[in-house]
Structure 1
Amino acid sequence: MSEEMIRTLSVCGLSYSYRRLRQPERTTEPVLVLGGALQGMFGWAQMEDHVGPVADVVTADLPGMGNADPLPPGPSIDLVCAAIERIIDDLDVPRVNLFGFSYGAGLAYGCARRFPGRIARLALGGVPAHISEAQVELWRRASDHLMDGDTESFATLVTEGLMCLDTGRHVVHRELAYRYVRRSMLHAARKSRHTVEALNRGLLDRPDFSGGLAGIPTLVFSGEHDTVTSPARQRDFAATIPGSRFLTIPDADHWVVLERPQEVGDLAARFFTDGPLSSAPCLAPVARREPSAADPACA
């Protein structure tokens, strides 16, 4: 049985926390999970279920996220990476496995470039390696809605910008995922003190994915219908990392961790224990069927 521990740290005067689920029979280094800009330490049940049996699972409210202190104005990735390295120090381990998704993929990659000797393996999903001008304009409009107090329009616009709504492309649990994401964005707009800051970071403080990493076993994965950054562009990014693996997960878009959570958790557990990836369940298409009135998405 895992044991939960939550610790509060500080970096450059900013308070933040991390959560560690200890696994007494772990077989690999701790897995530190870094997610979206508005995602805190309690949003990774699928990683706890699948990675928890083989490793300590570590999640965090980093500066600018969850219940942590807000980030100061200006570029922040150096400060956030310093906060992440402080977590690794506090874990009292020489190295960790890093799992970064979406915004967290940029943080994880930045950490791997800054202190590669502390990273055993690196898994990056939904990598925003290229953001178009149309997407930047969408974030600006979303920011305007938020500043005007129109949280409903903000939540709708951001959700539509992060999902594939083309019904000609099969995305499992699309309706359910849409409702969940929009509800989460609406809650963030009304309750989180970090929402405006997170939008500004997305516009002005984008990670550098130009290359310069070697020597760390790396997996990059993308939903086949990711409309934030296409799988082709994510594949090109993976090619800048010598020896990396790239996988496309069928029947999912940018929110692959929400649409196929169990399969992504299984993939992470395999990768972090040097297991076979070719037989991972996430690589198999999901059987299609017509929705029924009993489905949650039809309720």
Structure 2
Amino acid sequence: MRYRTDFNPSLLGTTPDVLELGPWRLHYLAFASSAGDSREPVLMLGGAFQSFRSFANEVQELLAEHPVILLDLPGQGGNLQEAGELSLEQLADLIAGFADSLDLPPLMPIGLSYGSTLAALFASRHPQRCARLLLSGITAFGRPGSRRLLEEGLSLLAEGRQQAFAQAALNNLLNPQQLQHTDVAPAFRKALLRQMQRLSAAEIARYQQNSQRLLDFTGFRQHPQCPTLVLAGEFDHFTQPWEQALFAAACPQGRYSLIQGADHLAQFERREACAALYQPFLRGEPVPEQVSGGRTLASQHLTQLERRSEARRRPQLPRAQLRHAEIGSWSVEVSELGFFGGKLNAALPTGLPARGWQLQWSDRPALEILPLQHNNQGFSFVTLHSDADASGALAAQLQPAPLSACA
């Protein structure tokens, strides 16, 4: 590997280098303090809506001590090559092929969101190629609610309901109930919403392929054996803290740090706290037990985290209407309600449709919901949040401060 030594953030938007592995093209940029640097490099693997430009701050911080490689596999980031036939495992194997072809020393992947699953699979399938592993937003997508929301997102895109898809995706990635803690700028939320509303046909196809890979993934047969650090935002609803803690607990050398005042994008929302934890880790030093804005949990506590991500209470007006355009409507009693889901009681028929349900109080916009566990007394549900007005009305119902209309 010959590294570039002239890094500045503008270079992250330039044409990347390309490595061809059989039919597949891998895009990358590689930087270091010297062109022939032989130290173990950090490998950046981003999430579904991230490009190389997302990592300008991280590259600048890391270059003082490590070579840094940014990699886009087929269908990821700025790499537009379609690769719908590749599984998550096969994409992870391409990372190993990349390392072999360029004769790299063992890598230190940093995997964020979608990229965390790829990084973890690479580490578990190719342990000789991985020195250390840093993950944020990791999950095996086994939680029923997260799977239903991912499936519904694919259905909305297939139906051409891109506005509804974007609204729902935004509210699951960035927890709107915790904005006073996460300090996510309204401008950032608007920009991300616009980005998802304006996905091209090719970008939609790529998102569908990536999401289907996650749904097809049956879980980790083995976990990374190398030193592994998992960073979790305390308000992350999409990949919840307890899920990430269980992954860290399954890694023989796993550590887990909780980032205060962050949700799914912890590394971008709380840069200083995250850096104070991962920089010692990448140097091979012990992970600090406490830093400003973050703390590392003892291993014996990782299986004991609370699994309910929000308080759910009986609403002041429990009577509501449950409606489905094809099979009718029922008067129901909502026994539990939170922003992201709840539970309702009613005598409902068996064989209910999986989608198309609305829950409505007389003076509020209808709320799209997705049933989960169903019995003869009713069902639990997750809230889709595909409509800004309905989400705002629910937020007002749960707490005095209403959700912004653009959220």
- TM-score w.r.t. length of structure 1: 0.83
Please tell me whether residue 242 in structure 1 is matched to residue 272 in structure 2. no
1:3 aligned residue: 6
Aligned to 2:82: 70
- How far does residue 186 in structure 1 lie from its aligned partner after superposition? 2.9
- Relative distance call for 1:134 and 1:200 in structure 2 (3 A) is same
Provide the residue aligned with 2:162 in structure 1. Answer: 151
CA deviations 1:142-190 (Å, max 9, x no partner) are 2222223332222111111222222487222253443343233234456
**1:111 maps to what in 2?**
122
Give distance in 1, aligned partners of 2:100 and 2:222.
26
| TM-fit CA distance, 1:124 | 1.0
Distance in 1 separating the partners of 2:54 and 2:102: 20
Shift in Å at residue 114 of structure 1?
A: 1.1
1:57-92 C-alpha deviation (Å, 9 max, x unpaired): 11122111122411133x512321222112212443
SS across alignment from 1:44? helix
Alpha-carbon spacing, 1:167–1:217, altered in 2? closer, same or farther (3 Å): closer
Within 1, Cα distance between the matches of 2:259 and 2:115?
Answer: 19
Deviation of 1:35 after TM superposition, in Å, equals 1.6
Q: RMSD over aligned Cα, in angstroms?
A: 2.8
Amino acid across the alignment from 1:242: P
Q: Describe the shift of the 1:194–1:258 C-alpha distance in structure 2 as closer, same or farther (beyond 3 A).
A: same
The answer for the alignment partner of 2:63 in structure 1 is 52
Q: How many residues are matched?
A: 282
Q: Is the 8 A contact 1:177 1:258 kept in 2?
A: no
Can you give the 5+ residue segments of structure 2 that lack an aligned partner in the other structure?
A: 8-14, 296-405
Question: 1:115 corresponds to which letter in structure 2?
Answer: H
> When you count helix as a share of all residues, which structure comes out higher?
1
Counterparts of 2:43 and 2:293, CA distance in 1 = 21
Which range moved further: 247-256 or 182-191?
A: 182-191
User: Higher RCO, 1 or 2 (CA under 8 Å, sep at least 6)?
Assistant: 1
Q: Which stretch of the first structure deviates more once superposed, 81-90 or 53-62?
A: 81-90
- Aligned AA for 2:83? L
Q: Which residue of 2 aligns with 1:93?
A: 104
Specify which structure has the higher proportion of strand.
2
Range with greater deviation from structure 2 (231-240 or 38-47): 38-47
SS of corresponding position for 2:47:
coil
Supply the distance in 2 between the matched residues of 1:136 and 1:227 (Cα, whole angstroms). Answer: 13
Structure 2 counterpart of 1:272, one-letter code: L
Give the 3-state SS of the residue equivalent to 2:182 in structure 1: coil
Structure 1's 199 and 130: CA in aligned 2 closer, same or farther, altered over 3 A?
A: closer
Q: Match for 2:214 among 202, 210, 217?
A: 202
Amino acid at match of 1:29: E
SS of 1:194's equivalent?
helix
- Aligned-partner SS, 2:54: coil
Q: Aligned partner of 1:197: which letter?
A: Q
Judge conservation of contact 2:267–2:274 (CA < 8 Å) in 1: yes
Find the partner of 1:258 among 268, 283, 295. Answer: 268
* CA shift in 2, pair 1:27/1:164, >3 Å: farther
Q: Judging changes above 3 Å, is the alpha-carbon distance between structure 1 residues 112 and 155 closer, same or farther for their aligned structure 2 residues? A: same
Q: Sequence identity, in percent?
A: 28
Q: Does 1:274 align with 2:274?
A: no
CA deviation map 1:195-242 (0-9, x unaligned): 2222322332x362354432x111111001111222122112111112
Q: Which has the larger radius of gyration?
A: 2
Residue range with higher mean Cα deviation, 57-66 or 133-142: 133-142
Which deviates more, 186-195 or 48-57? 186-195
CA offsets 1:235-271 (integer angstroms, 9 cap, x no match)? 1211111232110000001111231234434533322
Give the match's secondary structure for 2:26: strand
Output the amino acid matched with 1:270: P
Where does 1:186-201 land on structure 2 (aligned, <5 Å)?
186-189=197-200, 192=203, 194-201=206-213
Do the aligned partners of 1:174 and 1:259 also contact (CA within 8 Å) in 2?
no
Moved over 4 A (4+): 25-28, 279-282
For 1:19, the equivalent position in structure 2 comes to 29
One-letter amino acid matched to 1:160? N
Are the equivalent residues in 2 in contact too, given 1:103–1:128 (CA < 8 A)?
no
Distance 1:189 1:263 in 2: 35
